[in-house]
Each structure stands twice: as C-alpha cells, then as structure tokens.
C-alpha cells in the first residue's frame, strides 16, 4: 500500500512535469499560471482514476482504494505546489532572478544600478503584471481603467499564506535586521 | 493512516518550535536567524525513526514524504517572508480589487524602483549572489549555476525574460 501511494504521487508528478512543458511551450501570452494548474488537474484526475482501477483489480476493497487515491492525491498536489513555488514561479516571475540574469548577462564588465534600472524598473514590472492578470481574466481592462469582477482568484491564496506568515513570525525578517 | 496524522502533527510541532526559536533569536539576540530552519533536519530524522520503528502502520515512507513536503512548502513561504518578498503582483491585484476602476498611472504611484528592484538588489548583495565594486554590480561565482539553470529552463519553456 505504501509503495502504491508513493508510486501514484511521484508518477503523477512526473507525468505532469513532462506534459506541462509540452503544453506551456504552446502558450504565448501571460496566462501560464492558470494553464499550469489546469494541466495539473487534468493529469491528476486521469492518473488517480487509473490508480483506483489498478488498486481495485489487485483485490483491494473500496475503503483502502479510496485511502490510496486520497493519500496519493494529497502528496502529488503538495509535490506540485513545492515545484510551483520553488522553481516554476521563481523562473516565471521572480524579480530577484531577473535582476540576477541581467547582471550575469552584463558579463565581466558588470552593470551600474542606473543602467540596470533603465532596462528593468517598476513601470516594466507593473505593466507585465497588468498584462498577466488581464490575460488570465483576473482583471479587465475597460478603456483606460482596470477593474476586477471576480470575487476570488487563485492569486489570493499565496498572498493570504504570506500574510499569515507575517502574523506568526512577527518583525523578525531581513528588513528589521538591516 | 495513523502514521499520516502523526506526521502532520509532528510537522506542526516542528513548525511551532521553529517559530519560537526564530522569534527568540531574532528579537532576543538581534541576529539574523534564517538558519533556524535547520531544526527541520533533525526533526525529519526523528519522525523517520518513529514511523519506521515505533508507530505501528503500513505507510512509513508516504508519511515521511508528507512531512518532507509540508516542510518544503513551509521553507518556501518562510524564505519569501524572510527576504520580504512582498509581491508586486499581489499589490497590483489588491489595488485593482480595492480601488478599481483604476488607471495604470494611478497604480504606478503606489510603486517605486526602490521597493521593487533596489530592495531585491540589496538582498542579492546581502546573500552574496552579487558583489558591488567601482559603482558596478557583478555576479558572484555562486550565482552562475543558478543563472545557467534559469537560461536553460526559460529556453525549455520558450519564455521571454522573466520578472
């Protein structure tokens, strides 16, 4: 049973990993994040239905089968969440990574802060995020103004989590130690 | 399934100890204490030992994996908090949701280069991924493999420059 759950969760993640590259290579706009999660839902559903069928065929009862599928789903979702936060999200939208890339690209000569800010600044950052939210449907552009009509969006989840971390840890981060 | 709940409980206990340790070290001694997260390593060893030798059940590997994944997610959120990675995406979204309809120019008044870029540059300097000399920023050797991986990954995904 243990190996079934592990194989189910890691297998689901590996299939997703391969498929999300194929799918996201076709996406040209900034809606990669919703597509990422839609791909995961599709792969996870298919993989866990398959896991349930295999588990039943091996003579396991309904309750153990449901347990295996639920546990495997939980683990594969956590695995995908870790990948999303630790690699995908960082590569897709991290300002720190972009800065690092700009400095490495400058080579041995390096780059001054002023030059860096002409290539990459708050206006570019805001424009990119507005374009991303419009593409994902989280906000709408109506002429010159932006509005939001969705009562809830996926992007609020990490914001709420981070808010929770601020509350739990208090003023103990780098800002208060510099 | 008992092992799953033990694993979850152990993670929550470790997280609580970590929070107390971090707050105590940071406020009590005025030190930067992101290394307090290392408490999760001995904790993983202990839960592994408990799951394999002390707690009866048939899911020791999956339960241990659960602990590691929760710890991994915790680490990633903790690092975002620690480096004050207040997300501009979230800020844009909150501005539009709370103050919309809002124009691009009105949104831009809530942002600055200091908050979005310079703050990150300073963090990279502090973490020694960048070095500054002669008024110019240079990549430290430990930044090169990360930048190479980033280039490879973005090429794989057919993405333009990130950020």
What is the mean predicted confidence (pLDDT) over B138-158?
89
Higher pLDDT: A30 or B6? It is B6
Report yes or no on B41 lying in a domain: yes
Last residue of a domain, one of B82, B114, B130: B82
Say yes or no: B46 and B98 in one domain.
Answer: no
Say yes or no: B67 and B95 in one domain.
Answer: no
Report yes or no on B131 lying in a domain: yes
Q: Is B137 helix (H, G, I), strand (E, B) or coil?
A: strand
Note whether B46 contacts A: Cβ–Cβ < 8 A: no
Do A30 and A135 contact (CB within 8 A), yes or no? yes
Q: State the pLDDT at residue B91.
A: 87
- Residue A57 confidence class, pLDDT cut points 50, 70, 90: confident
Closest alpha carbon within chain B to A104: B139
Q: State the pLDDT at residue A52.
A: 92
What is the mean predicted confidence (pLDDT) over A34-40?
90
Question: Strand order in A111-112's β-sheet?
Answer: A111-112, B136-139, B130-133
Report yes or no on B129 lying in a domain: yes
Q: Which value does ipTM take for this structure?
A: 0.85
Q: State the pLDDT at residue A177.
A: 55
Report yes or no on B77 lying in a domain: yes
Say yes or no: B78 and B94 in one domain.
Answer: no
- Using the predicted structure, report yes or no on whether residue B18 has a pLDDT greater than 60: yes
Q: At what angle do helices A156-169 and B2-23 cross, to 10 degrees?
A: 60
Chain B residues inside the 8 Å CB shell of A140: none
Last residue of a domain, one of B58, B82, B106: B82
Q: State the pLDDT at residue B159.
A: 81
Chain B residues inside the 8 Å CB shell of A133: 89, 92-93, 96
B92 vs A32, A129, A145: nearest CB:
A129
Say yes or no: B62 and B78 in one domain.
Answer: yes
- Using the predicted structure, report yes or no on whether residue A44 has a pLDDT greater than 70: yes
Does the pTM surpass 0.90? The reply is: no
CB atoms within 10 A of CB B41: 10
CB atoms within 10 A of CB B42: 10
Report yes or no on B151 lying in a domain: yes
Torsion sign (Cα): A91, A96, A102, A105: negative
Say yes or no: B93 and B61 in one domain.
Answer: no
Q: State the pLDDT at residue A150.
A: 79
- Residue B44 confidence class, pLDDT cut points 50, 70, 90: very high
Say yes or no: B15 and B39 in one domain.
Answer: yes
A97-134 pLDDT, tens digit per residue, is 889 988 998 888 889 999 999 989 999 999 988 988 88
Q: State the pLDDT at residue A109.
A: 87
Say yes or no: B78 and B101 in one domain.
Answer: no
Q: State the pLDDT at residue A87.
A: 92
- Residue B63 confidence class, pLDDT cut points 50, 70, 90: very high
Say yes or no: B78 and B96 in one domain.
Answer: no
Which of the given ranges, B71-75, B93-97, B127-131, B145-149, has the highest pLDDT on average? B71-75
- Residue A7 confidence class, pLDDT cut points 50, 70, 90: very high
Q: State the pLDDT at residue A32.
A: 82
Say yes or no: B98 and B76 in one domain.
Answer: no
Q: Which of A70-74, A153-157, B27-31 has the lowest mean pLDDT?
A: B27-31
Say yes or no: B9 and B69 in one domain.
Answer: yes
Do A68 and A8 contact (CB within 8 A), yes or no? yes
Report yes or no on B93 lying in a domain: yes
* Contact call for B163 and A93, based on CB within 8 A: yes
Domain residues for the domain of B76 are 2-82
Say yes or no: B46 and B26 in one domain.
Answer: yes
**Rounded distance between C-alpha atoms, residue B107 and residue A155, angstroms:** 18
Report yes or no on B162 lying in a domain: no
Q: State the pLDDT at residue B66.
A: 96
Say yes or no: B32 and B99 in one domain.
Answer: no
Last residue of a domain, one of B34, B52, B82: B82
Note whether A163 contacts B: Cβ–Cβ < 8 A: no
Number of domains in chain B: 2
Note whether A145 contacts B: Cβ–Cβ < 8 A: yes
- Using the predicted structure, report yes or no on whether residue B134 has a pLDDT greater than 80: yes
Residues in chain B: 163
């Amino acid at each position: 049973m243990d190996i079934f759950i592990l194989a189910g969760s890691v297998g689901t993640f590996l299939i997703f990993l391969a498929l999300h590259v194929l799918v996201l290579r076709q996406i040209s706009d900034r809606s990669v994040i919703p597509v990422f999660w839609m791909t995961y839902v599709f792969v996870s559903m298919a993989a866990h239905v398959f896991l349930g069928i295999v588990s039943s065929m091996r003579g396991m009862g309904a309750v153990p089968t449901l347990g295996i599928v639920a546990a495997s789903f939980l683990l594969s979702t956590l695995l995908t969440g870790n990948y999303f936060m630790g690699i995908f999200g960082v590569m897709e939208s991290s300002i720190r990574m972009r800065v690092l890339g700009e400095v490495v690209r400058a080579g041995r000569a390096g780059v001054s802060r002023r030059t860096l800010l002409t290539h990459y600044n708050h206006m570019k950052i805001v424009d990119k995020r507005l374009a991303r939210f419009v593409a994902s449907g989280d906000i709408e552009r109506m002429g010159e103004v932006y509005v939001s009509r969705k009562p809830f969006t996926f992007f609020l989840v990490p914001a709420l989590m981070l808010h929770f971390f601020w509350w739990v840890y208090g003023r103990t981060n780098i800002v208060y130690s510099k | 399934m008992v092992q799953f709940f033990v694993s979850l409980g152990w993670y929550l206990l470790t997280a609580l100890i970590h929070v107390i340790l971090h707050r105590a070290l940071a406020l009590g001694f005025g030190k930067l204490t992101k290394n307090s997260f290392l408490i999760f390593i001995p904790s993983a060893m202990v839960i592994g030992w408990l799951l394999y030798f002390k707690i009866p059940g048939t899911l020791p590997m999956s339960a241990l994996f659960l602990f590691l994944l929760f710890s991994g997610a915790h680490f990633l959120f903790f690092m975002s908090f620690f480096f004050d990675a207040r997300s501009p995406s979230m800020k844009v979204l909150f501005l539009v949701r709370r103050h919309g309809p809002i124009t691009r120019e009105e949104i831009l008044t809530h942002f600055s280069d200091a908050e979005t870029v310079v703050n990150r540059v300073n963090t990279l300097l502090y973490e020694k991924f960048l070095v500054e000399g002669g008024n110019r920023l240079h990549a430290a050797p430990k930044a090169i493999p990360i930048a190479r991986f980033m280039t490879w990954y973005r090429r794989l995904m057919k993405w333009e420059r990130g950020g």
